[in-house]
């Protein structure tokens, strides 16, 4: 990995390089995605099945697009029982963590006759998009479905592209069933996003779409936002490790590569105050890359978006961490909890040398759907909050309104909204006549 002395200039250059990976930078795809979305909206199933035949090589119709109970049963027979047991253990942790995020309504009253409050209700129907293709991620299935179930969503549907044989990956089906999905449809890509956003003859319209995908999926989610809600427009995976001279270079190198193997656009960055550690980690990265199965992807990722940044001070290093606002942040320093108090921007924070990033991806419980491309400055991980909505509750007695009605009328008239003022005044006409 390249070792770079951290300066204001190098930090700026790195930020600009990382931001090139944002879905907002892929304008040439937007027209294609817009055409797909528009056609599915206009033609429904016909367009959906045409695109599935063209892109996935599978002919579907209204009778075959929905995954059947028999297909799910067959999937259970194909999945390694050991993997199923691991999924179930992970589910316990994921569900337990998200249950602590539950929101509850509240009401506040006072003797003057006011009742103010907030109602919390779950979304009625949510769509979960699950990628297909070369990589299969049952862990993402769990992470997207469980918080929706905990929130109390009435119906959760899932779309995922079929393989050339017309089937969905068995591990994906089993994970979805274990997490509590209601229906699974064998469609993917921008066309699946459009189908969930607008509804077709076979796929119902949802209130919100969540889940990762390729650039077409990301841009489709962006295109339908407003017709439905979305979780976020996710960019490529990223990890940042903040370490000092006490860190184990072998552990740090292994953790950096855990994200670099996702795809060629993933980023892996070490920020350290130790020149010695920088050199050791670089050597370990080279050694690991030679023996790992996805070494070609890893090497391209590191060549484009991999950095080892050497800072003069820990304060300078922390400032850089907050500026880059990485999806995953590991703190491997002598006093990691002290450092954590100074971290403002990160999707998930992993503390200490035994809290490596894959622990969060698969098992610990917190959601692994995290903000990317610097959006951790203003976005949060996927949570139960993403699947609820809040309604304000207002109730005034006549006496309570009478005490403030002149103030409201004065405010409305100041904004020249006489109908607003009249709506209050009409309730006290007899008072005005006296």
- Binding residues for NAD(+), as ranges, are 129, 191, 214
Distance CA 385, CA 379 (A): 12
How crowded is residue 88: how many other Cβ atoms within 10 Å of its Cβ? 10
- Core vs surface per residue 117-144: b (16+ CB within 10 A) or e: eeebebbebbbbbbbbeeebbbbbbbbb
Catalytic residue among 98, 328, 368, 405: 328
Distance CA 303, CA 193 (A): 33
CB within 8 A of 415, min separation 6: which ones? none
CB within 8 A of 10, min separation 6: which ones? 4, 309
How crowded is residue 222: how many other Cβ atoms within 10 Å of its Cβ? 17
Catalytic residue among 178, 238, 261, 327: 327
How crowded is residue 167: how many other Cβ atoms within 10 Å of its Cβ? 16
Let me know if 328 is a catalytic residue. yes
**Residue recorded with tokens 């090497």:** 299
411 vs 400, 408, 420, CA distance in Å? 17, 5, 9
Residues belonging to the binding site are 129, 191, 214, 237, 259, 262, 328, 361, 415, 420
Residues belonging to the binding site for Zn(2+) are 259, 262, 361, 420
Residues belonging to the binding site for substrate are 237, 259, 262, 328, 361, 415, 420
Distance CA 363, CA 42 (A): 42
Distance CA 88, CA 376 (A): 30
List the one residue out of 150, 198, 168, 138 whose CA is nearest residue 64.
168
Q: Which residues are catalytic?
A: 327-328
């Amino acid at each position: 990995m390249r070792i770079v002395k951290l300066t204001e200039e190098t930090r700026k250059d790195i930020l600009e390089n990382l931001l090139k990976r944002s879905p907002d930078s892929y304008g040439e795809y937007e027209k294609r995605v817009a055409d797909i979305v528009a056609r599915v909206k206009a033609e429904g199933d016909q367009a959906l099945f045409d695109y599935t035949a063209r892109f996935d090589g599978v002919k579907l119709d209204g009778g075959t697009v929905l995954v059947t109970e028999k297909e799910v049963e067959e999937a259970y027979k194909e999945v390694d029982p050991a993997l199923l047991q691991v999924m179930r253990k992970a589910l316990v942790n994921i569900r337990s963590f998200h249950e602590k995020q539950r929101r509850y309504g509240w009401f506040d009253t006072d003797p003057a006759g006011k009742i103010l409050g907030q109602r919390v209700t779950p979304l009625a129907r949510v769509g979960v998009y699950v990628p297909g293709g070369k990589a299969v991620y049952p862990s993402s299935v769990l992470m997207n479905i469980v918080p929706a179930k905990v929130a109390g969503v009435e119906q959760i549907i899932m779309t995922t592209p079929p393989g050339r044989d017309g089937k969905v990956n068995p591990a994906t089906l089993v994970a979805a069933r274990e997490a509590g999905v209601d229906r699974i449809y064998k469609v993917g890509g921008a066309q699946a996003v459009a189908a969930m956003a607008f509804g077709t003859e076979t796929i119902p319209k949802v209130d919100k779409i969540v889940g990762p995908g390729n650039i077409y999926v990301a841009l489709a989610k962006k295109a339908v936002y407003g017709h439905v809600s979305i979780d976020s427009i996710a960019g490529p995976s990223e990890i940042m490790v903040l370490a000092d001279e006490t860190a184990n270079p072998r552990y740090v190198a292994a953790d950096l590569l855990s994200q670099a193997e996702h795809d060629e656009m993933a980023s892996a960055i070490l920020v350290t105050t130790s020149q010695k550690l920088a050199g050791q980690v670089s050597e370990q990265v080279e050694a690991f890359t030679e023996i790992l199965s996805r070494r070609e992807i890893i090497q391209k990722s590191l060549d484009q978006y991999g950095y080892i940044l050497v800072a003069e001070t820990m304060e300078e290093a922390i400032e850089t961490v907050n500026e880059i606002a990485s999806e995953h942040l590991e703190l491997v320093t002598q006093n990691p909890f002290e450092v954590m108090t100074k971290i403002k921007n990160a999707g998930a924070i992993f503390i200490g040398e035994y809290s490596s990033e894959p622990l969060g991806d698969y098992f610990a419980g917190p959601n692994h759907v995290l903000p990317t491309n610097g959006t951790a400055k203003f976005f949060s991980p996927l949570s139960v909050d993403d699947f609820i909505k809040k309604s304000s509750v207002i109730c005034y007695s006549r006496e309570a309104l009478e005490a403030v009605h002149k103030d409201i009328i004065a405010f409305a008239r100041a904004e020249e909204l006489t109908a607003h003022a009249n709506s209050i005044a009409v309730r006290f006409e007899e008072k005005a006549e006296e």
